[in-house]
Structure 1
Amino acid sequence: MKLTRNLCASTAIVALGAAAFAQPVAAQETATSAFELPPVVSTASRLSAGLNSSSVTIIDKEQINRHPGKSLPDILAAEAGLIVRDTFGNGNETATVDIRGFGEQAGQNVLVLIDGRRINDLDLGGVQFGLVPRANIQSIEVLRGSAAAVLYGEGGVGGAINIITQGGEKTQGVSATGTIGSYGYRRAQSIFQWGGKPAHIALSADTTETDGYRHNNGLTRHIYSATVSVDQDRSDYRLSATYSTKENGLPGNRLVNTATGLNLVQSNPRGAQTPQSKAEERRFRIEAGVQTKLNDSLDLVLDGSYRRRTVSSDFVGGFGTTLDDRSIATTSFTPRVIYNGEAGGHAVNLISGVDVSYSTADVQQRSPFVTSDQDGKLTTIAVYGQGDVAVTDALTIDAGVRGIYSRADVRSPQNLAARSKDNEFNVAANLGAAYDVTDEVKLFARAGRAVRLATIDERTGTRRAGAPTFAIISFDLKNQTSWDFEVGTEVGFGPVDARVSAFQINVENQIAFTPDTITTFGFNTNLDDTRRRGVEAEAVAELGFGFEVKPRVAYTEAVFTKGQFDGNKVPLVPEWTGGLGIDWTGDNVWASANWRYVDSQRMINDQQAIFPEIPSYDLLDISIGGTLGMVSLKGEVRNVLDEDYFATAAASDTNANVFGAFPLPGRAAYLEASVAF
């Protein structure tokens, strides 16, 4: 079934005392025992050990190239249950992707990885999806639910997004791509490749400039990357490095005051609340790895990486200028052993490894009211094992466990009493099963536990201690834990493949900002218990004559289940989302259209449910392209219906009549041309 291939089911899994381990192996053969498991996927993935009992979507290179969207978040927004929130819409690809309803905290509850290595940082700075040029991406894995927590570590509560750049064809040549579009959008990309096997070199450069939809919304970004790979008889070696720079304006929100009638969202949506605010960012990442085949069934993988991000932001507002300078660095080492074989006549896929990570954060903040410096260190050491076994020709059992030791040390020279020095041990786990009722119908079920650690920004909170001074309260936050459960089915009849799954996530000590009361500034804290539950459904149907349709719908209920907000909705989580994709393929020409709907939702800070909701919206995007010899052309129109909308808004925590929204672009057109030599 095609959807079974594209929506591989997954869950994490443990080797119960087995002295064997599993993980993807390039070109690994299918198991030859009586009960076979799915073949291994990519060397940059950890999804080979247990793809049967939860929901995974794999977006292949063809889908990525054709999608009517210029950023990865645009592409991810077309998947069932994924909600993308962009603040400024200027193509900076720092939008937040939410999986299964975590709202404002989605960025800390969804892991983002490049070739299996996490790129979430120690602060709330967000993920830069544009770090990987779109042309370099081979596929994207979207893993829903806490199976991600066993596979990839803390923070994978709602799920994980793994961007795969390895495993593509190693060719020689040069390609160049240019894009122009609305709001002064300009982009140039080039890729140089030389060699093949046993040695290959790939160099790429990517430059983007745009004026942006709003005033003070411009962006200039440069990304440079280099990869060297050597493939020998039994060992593969890889070294890669990426350096990027970004400069962008920070236009702020558009204020609405229901008491005075002020509504800048309607009267001046493209204006700037902070026309002089700006930010500069530098990122560097280097990775090295080797994969060695110890025997026909056993592989050893040794991976290490270092990344550093420096940001300087100037926020110029009515109360003066606030400066925020920060430097975040992370070093990681992730060795693992992989086994794909059999035990007792049953096919077995197993993986076991150790993930070691050390992060440092240096934050300096200056404003007319406060001087605040924070130094943070986070060390995590995790040992994990997971696997699946074909019990019969129809039944597969998955299980997995990860033990996580974390040591967090956060302090501020301005408030020595607020120092937090925590040592904790937590466990993430998964257990699941998949049963093939017939060749066309599969049932699956799983349960799991996940963990999320606090960021350095979340460990610092402010409360009004008497105007105009602010004081740090405390750096102490409990680690967040959750249990989730999922059941579902995959079916395939003729040209139609479909998947339906239902889930529930119970969260304890969720880390979030609370407005406290409407007359005082809020602070970061552990919330009372919350619950997410919902249903996701999607299908793929081939209609003939080159047409394919992809309908999807998701319902998500996210509510507080204890405390002062008991029964209220979690902010920034729409109940209903859905859409429809239509693709057509001809001879050297293609066309795609994607429609998506997002329901109304509570604003940030509106746990009390006293502000108006963010209105629902629906968007239509279309694209058409083709290839003639060495030249490829693509045209796309975003927001074809010119919808006026915003996806993010924040309620004031001091005035019940005031909120700020972030309007997003109307209709926009783009033209892209590529040539390959």
Structure 2
Amino acid sequence: MHQKLIIIALFGAITLPTVSFAETASLDEVVVTATRFATTSENTAVNVTVITAADIEKSAAKTLPSLLAQHVGIQVRSTDGTPDLAVDMRGFGMTGNQNTLVLLDGQPLNDIELTSIHWSAIPLDSIERIEIVNGSGAVLYGGGASGGTIHIVTKHPGKGVHGIASVGAGSYGAKEWQLALSGSGERLGMRITASGLDTANYRANNNVTQNNLEADIRGDVGQGDAFVKFGADNQTIRYPGNRSVNPNTGVNQLLTDPRGTATPLDYGTRNGVHVSLGTAQQFEFGEFAGELSYRDTKRTAYFAAFGGAYLDTALNLLSFTPRIKVPYQLGGAANELTVGMDLSNWNYDSSRSSAPANMGTPTTKILAGQSDRALYLQNVNQLGADTKLTLGARSQRVSYQARDAVNPAAYASANQVRTANAYELGLRHNLNQTLAVFGRIGRSFRIATVDEIFAQYGGPFFDSKVTMLEPQTSQDSELGLDYKSAKDKIRATLYQMNLNNEIHYNALTFTNMNLSPTRRYGLELEGTHAYSDSVEVGAAYSYTVAKFSNGTYGGINVSGNNIPLVPRQRLALSTALKLTEKTSLSGSAMYVGQQHFDNDQANTFGQKMPAYTTVDMKLTHREGAWQLAAAVNNLFNRQYYTYAVSSTFTPGVYNAYPMQGRNFSLNASYQF
């Protein structure tokens, strides 16, 4: 009761359905996600939410996923205690990562394996803004955007020479630092950002050490600019494993030992590098832009249980993304046509054995490659002064090969060539200066990852097997209202998604497979209200339904059942108070409703993952060039978990992954 009273007192002034600090940007903010060229938000029919660098600075969120979770329609979950939480847009559950497309300066960060986005490799101080588009992005960017697109745009070199240095410390022995330097001359500029983190984390055997570097060198060339961007990161992590609950034996480690570890020997490492060469040029006919990019990642992981498993994986991506935007007049109406190509090649090499010492003769060696050749176009038509029509289409040819070099059996190798298509039709009409109505219909797709087509023990002799899956497709539609005034921004959206061949791990049959049709629909409400220059509030409410339309798996009819790991209701509240000219207080509260356990596609487990509420606060004070910040996360020390998996065989038994309890952090930064 005491917790509820404090939450009500903190957020009681909120009277509008809103989202976060992100919605308070100016009406003519620059965005690129909607067209792949820099434009203003008012010049596109797609609804884009922008989180600015100032929003990131004042937010109490410690990680990028926690910040994103304050936005409508985004759920996060963790199974390893790292800052790299899985992100799920519009209710895809365990495959949320694979249905949420994440871009860094226009280049995809999603891999062709089942791994989370490496959010912690992006220094927070290198981010200029984050653009979020719910349920859209497949036409311009390709597969994996059924839930939506998150585009992280890094800062460009600024005028003159300046920088910022910061250090921080917090609970669980956390230590972090960040250094950013920026400078430019008449025609050439450079920005470089480095950061590091070391923390023991909440759980035993969960230490994380992370170091990052991002750099941007750009100069005036021709009728535009050219740039070189590069970055590197490395991470070492210990995996704590699950906490077990078994009412039949009286075991409940969530209560007796939530911080303990079940896997004291498990660990992982990651080393990544990326580089992009690009240019943007202005010609008489319009604009040209393009990037040549390379990304290389090396990962290792060791899991000691069941005889041990050691993975040594190398992955690289080479891509070329040229495009043009041409303005023209047709029938007296202004149009902008974007035409582009996305050409990419993936290479994947993963050796697996029982221990690092045995990697000279691995038990499995997966070699895979994926080649993508895509052509897309998008036309934005100005129909009169108040209406915009967007029409776009994409055709992508995907060539996929995978084999186990150790297993000579024919079923351990497979090839596939498919053409995946996407389209989108969007309309936005301004009813008056403050109120607009918008609608969209479209089709998106997703290609299976290597981990989804490869089964290490799926063969007839308990050996490896490769089974190609069909591309997942989704028919999408949405309708909404958008209200903007000097103090308010409110958006309401109704959406529906009908999926065929959804790619999913089926715990009833222990296989990855193409599901029978599934369906998702929901309501999203978001916005902000500025009471004054000193008081701003926001909230985001999501009502999400995800169901199996029909199908029988493992002898169980799942028609009409709820898809696991999709909470029906979510509510995020936020507030920013300017206490004095130098001091500000910000806070956020998050409520996540009940959801079915992973593995419970049959919806027969008899209980659900419990709902939870968390509250974060941050106090910031600026004195000259110095800024001091104190934050507390999970203020009421709520015991909760964002992921749990039920037993397939024993009623009432499940494993969960506890999240951090109440924790504190202090940070000091100096601008020069």
Q: TM-score, normalised by structure 1?
A: 0.90
Greater CA deviation, 548-557 or 46-55? 46-55
For residues 348-378 of structure 1, give each alpha carbon's deviation from its aligned partner in whole angstroms, at most 9, with x where no partner exists: 2331110001001111122399922211100
User: Where do 1:579-658 residues align within 5 Å?
Assistant: 579-585=572-578, 586-611=580-605, 612-658=607-653
2:467 maps to 1:479 = no
> CA 1:642–1:4 in structure 2 vs 1: closer, same or farther (change >3 Å)?
closer
- Residue aligning to 2:659: 664
Contact 1:45 1:164 in 2 (8 A): no
Greater CA deviation, 229-238 or 73-82? 229-238
For residues 465-520 of structure 1, give each alpha carbon's deviation from its aligned partner in whole angstroms, at most 9, with x where no partner exists: 79xx7333442211101100000001235632211000001111111111125xxx
Q: CA deviation at 1:3?
A: 9.6
2:512 maps to 1:524 = yes
> Alignment partner of 1:108: what SS?
helix
User: Where do 1:369-384 residues align within 5 Å?
Assistant: 371-384=363-376
> Alignment partner of 1:470: what SS?
coil
> CA 1:168–1:621 in structure 2 vs 1: closer, same or farther (change >3 Å)?
farther
Q: CA deviation at 1:464?
A: 7.0
2:551 maps to 1:556 = no
- Residue aligning to 1:58: 50
Q: CA deviation at 1:440?
A: 1.6
2:124 maps to 1:134 = yes
Amino acid at match of 1:215: A
Contact 2:482 2:490 in 1 (8 A): yes
Structure 1 gap ranges (5+): 10-36
Among 321, 324, 329, the alignment partner of 1:334 is 321
> Alignment partner of 2:614: what SS?
strand
In structure 2, how many angstroms separate the alpha carbons of the residues matched to 1:348 and 1:98?
34
> CA 1:190–1:278 in structure 2 vs 1: closer, same or farther (change >3 Å)?
same
In structure 1, how many angstroms separate the alpha carbons of the residues matched to 2:458 and 2:323?
49
Contact 1:67 1:592 in 2 (8 A): yes
In structure 2, how many angstroms separate the alpha carbons of the residues matched to 1:481 and 1:436?
32
Length, aligned pairs only: 638
User: Where do 1:255-270 residues align within 5 Å?
Assistant: 255-270=244-259
Amino acid at match of 1:543: Y
- Residue aligning to 1:111: 101
Amino acid at match of 2:636: L
Q: CA deviation at 1:344?
A: 4.3
> Alignment partner of 2:137: what SS?
helix
Contact 1:7 1:56 in 2 (8 A): no
For residues 49-78 of structure 1, give each alpha carbon's deviation from its aligned partner in whole angstroms, at most 9, with x where no partner exists: 896544421111111111101111111011
Contact 2:286 2:326 in 1 (8 A): yes
In structure 1, how many angstroms separate the alpha carbons of the residues matched to 2:567 and 2:529?
27
- Residue aligning to 2:312: 325
Among 222, 239, 244, the alignment partner of 2:211 is 222
- Residue aligning to 1:184: 173
Q: CA deviation at 1:395?
A: 1.5
> Alignment partner of 1:306: what SS?
strand
2:259 maps to 1:275 = no
Greater CA deviation, 487-496 or 456-465? 456-465
Q: CA deviation at 1:589?
A: 2.3
> CA 1:7–1:402 in structure 2 vs 1: closer, same or farther (change >3 Å)?
farther
- Residue aligning to 1:24: none
Amino acid at match of 2:635: V
> CA 1:464–1:472 in structure 2 vs 1: closer, same or farther (change >3 Å)?
closer
> Alignment partner of 1:457: what SS?
helix
In structure 1, how many angstroms separate the alpha carbons of the residues matched to 2:102 and 2:312?
24
In structure 1, how many angstroms separate the alpha carbons of the residues matched to 2:84 and 2:373?
28
> CA 1:154–1:278 in structure 2 vs 1: closer, same or farther (change >3 Å)?
same
2:406 maps to 1:416 = no
- Residue aligning to 2:350: 363
In structure 1, how many angstroms separate the alpha carbons of the residues matched to 2:271 and 2:455?
26
Contact 2:426 2:441 in 1 (8 A): yes
Contact 1:39 1:48 in 2 (8 A): no
In structure 1, how many angstroms separate the alpha carbons of the residues matched to 2:486 and 2:38?
27
Among 167, 173, 186, the alignment partner of 2:162 is 173
For residues 544-600 of structure 1, give each alpha carbon's deviation from its aligned partner in whole angstroms, at most 9, with x where no partner exists: 261011022110000000102111111110000012111113413221110110011
In structure 1, how many angstroms separate the alpha carbons of the residues matched to 2:245 and 2:19?
45
> CA 1:258–1:139 in structure 2 vs 1: closer, same or farther (change >3 Å)?
same
> Alignment partner of 1:217: what SS?
coil
> CA 1:6–1:173 in structure 2 vs 1: closer, same or farther (change >3 Å)?
closer
- Residue aligning to 1:96: 86
> Alignment partner of 1:138: what SS?
strand
Contact 1:305 1:333 in 2 (8 A): yes
> CA 1:506–1:47 in structure 2 vs 1: closer, same or farther (change >3 Å)?
farther
- Residue aligning to 1:534: 522
- Residue aligning to 2:396: 404
Contact 2:379 2:391 in 1 (8 A): yes
Contact 1:433 1:446 in 2 (8 A): yes
Q: CA deviation at 1:231?
A: 2.1
In structure 1, how many angstroms separate the alpha carbons of the residues matched to 2:60 and 2:297?
30
In structure 2, how many angstroms separate the alpha carbons of the residues matched to 1:631 and 1:102?
43
For residues 206-262 of structure 1, give each alpha carbon's deviation from its aligned partner in whole angstroms, at most 9, with x where no partner exists: 111000100000011111232211124612011011111100001111111232221
Contact 2:202 2:660 in 1 (8 A): yes
Amino acid at match of 2:618: S
Percent of pairs with identical residues: 30
In structure 1, how many angstroms separate the alpha carbons of the residues matched to 2:328 and 2:531?
39
Q: CA deviation at 1:622?
A: 0.7
Contact 1:353 1:384 in 2 (8 A): yes
In structure 1, how many angstroms separate the alpha carbons of the residues matched to 2:195 and 2:634?
25
> Alignment partner of 1:471: what SS?
coil
Q: CA RMSD in A?
A: 2.5
Q: CA deviation at 1:392?
A: 1.0
Q: CA deviation at 1:334?
A: 0.2
In structure 1, how many angstroms separate the alpha carbons of the residues matched to 2:368 and 2:618?
45
Q: TM-score, normalised by structure 2?
A: 0.91
Amino acid at match of 1:139: R
Amino acid at match of 1:675: Y
> CA 1:235–1:56 in structure 2 vs 1: closer, same or farther (change >3 Å)?
closer
Structure 2 gap ranges (5+): 1-17, 553-557
Q: CA deviation at 1:167?
A: 4.7
Amino acid at match of 1:577: R
- Residue aligning to 1:16: none
In structure 2, how many angstroms separate the alpha carbons of the residues matched to 1:242 and 1:205?
9
In structure 2, how many angstroms separate the alpha carbons of the residues matched to 1:39 and 1:630?
27
> CA 1:654–1:288 in structure 2 vs 1: closer, same or farther (change >3 Å)?
farther
2:664 maps to 1:675 = no
2:190 maps to 1:201 = yes
In structure 1, how many angstroms separate the alpha carbons of the residues matched to 2:200 and 2:22?
37
Contact 2:209 2:235 in 1 (8 A): yes
Contact 2:157 2:217 in 1 (8 A): no
In structure 2, how many angstroms separate the alpha carbons of the residues matched to 1:649 and 1:98?
15
> CA 1:642–1:406 in structure 2 vs 1: closer, same or farther (change >3 Å)?
same
> CA 1:674–1:228 in structure 2 vs 1: closer, same or farther (change >3 Å)?
same
Amino acid at match of 2:542: A
Q: CA deviation at 1:187?
A: 0.3
> CA 1:463–1:320 in structure 2 vs 1: closer, same or farther (change >3 Å)?
closer
For residues 392-433 of structure 1, give each alpha carbon's deviation from its aligned partner in whole angstroms, at most 9, with x where no partner exists: 111211110011000000111314323221111111000011
Amino acid at match of 2:388: T
> CA 1:99–1:171 in structure 2 vs 1: closer, same or farther (change >3 Å)?
farther
> CA 1:134–1:562 in structure 2 vs 1: closer, same or farther (change >3 Å)?
same
